[in-house]
Amino acid sequence: MELFEALKARRSIGKVQLDKEVPKELIEQIIEAATWAPNHHRTEPWRFFVLTGDGRKPLGETLARIAAKGMDDPSTEENQGKLEKARKNPFRAPVIIVAAVEPSEGDKIILQEEYAAVHAGVQNMLLAAHALGLGAVWRTGKPAYDPEMSKQFGLSDKGEVVGFVYVGYPDMTPAPRKRRAVSEVTKWIDKE
């Protein structure tokens, strides 16, 4: 696949075939692509957790616990429905790759650069999934950044989940996408 074609054609695929297993070798290729992302001082601050089958249940329970913390009364029928939906979220794809940052220590280490490296890694993962004929979507939101989520994956006090990459074989055709013209978002500075 030609690079510029891949960059323009890749889409977030939120609906995938739930009954079609993704081979472990393809997931490993996707994660390896992430590890080739640029990272200042070669810290390699990324950590990945692959959830499949019943391995997705603990994530669902954690999502439900986090959601319950924001409710006045989690026991109402409406809120119980919301908690059940949170429990089921990890089952929207056969594979979830949890991407996390585990910042390095050192005087030269800048925290934002550690996060930037993992974010670049996630972009590589999305492009790799697309190149392999898979659908993927990067999901984030407040629950990803809750300290309970970091605890769920055994991260340090400084570590944090940066998102969940849901992966599977596409079960949708995404709509065409438009972007603003480069001229609208670029300012050339060629004089003092």
Q: At what angle do helices 77-88 and 57-69 cross, to 10 degrees?
A: 140
Identify the burial level of 117 via C-beta atoms within 10 angstroms of its C-beta, where 0-12 means exposed, 13-18 middle and 19 or more buried.
buried
Taking CA atoms, 102 is separated from 96, 161, 184, in Å, by: 19, 9, 36
The ranges assigned to domains in the chain are 3-185
Determine if residue 138 is labeled as part of a ligand binding site: yes
Residue 186 confidence (pLDDT): 95
Token readout for 19 is 């009954």
The answer to whether 139 is annotated as binding is yes
pLDDT on residue 8: 80
Q: What pLDDT, on a 0 to 100 scale, did the predictor assign at position 170?
A: 95
**Going residue by residue through the chain (192 aa), what tens digit of pLDDT does each one get?**
588 888 888 898 999 999 999 999 999 999 999 999 999 889 899 999 999 999 999 999 999 999 999 999 999 999 999 999 999 999 999 999 999 999 998 889 999 999 999 999 999 999 999 999 999 999 999 999 999 999 999 999 999 999 999 999 999 988 888 889 999 999 999 987
Does 183 carry a binding-site annotation?
no
pLDDT of residue 1: 55
Strands 95-101 and 135-139: unpaired
User: Known binder of ligand: residue 11?
Assistant: yes
pTM confidence score: 0.92
pLDDT of residue 122: 98
Is 65 within any annotated ligand binding site? no
Q: What is the pLDDT of residue 86?
A: 96
CATH class of the domain at 3-185: alpha beta
Q: According to the annotation, is 42 in a ligand binding site?
A: no
CB 36 within 8 A of CB 124: yes
Q: In angstroms, how far is CA 23 from the centroid of its own chain?
A: 19
Query: Nearest CA to 141 among 104, 94, 89?
Result: 89
12 labelled ligand-binding? yes
Tokens matching residue 23? 């081979």
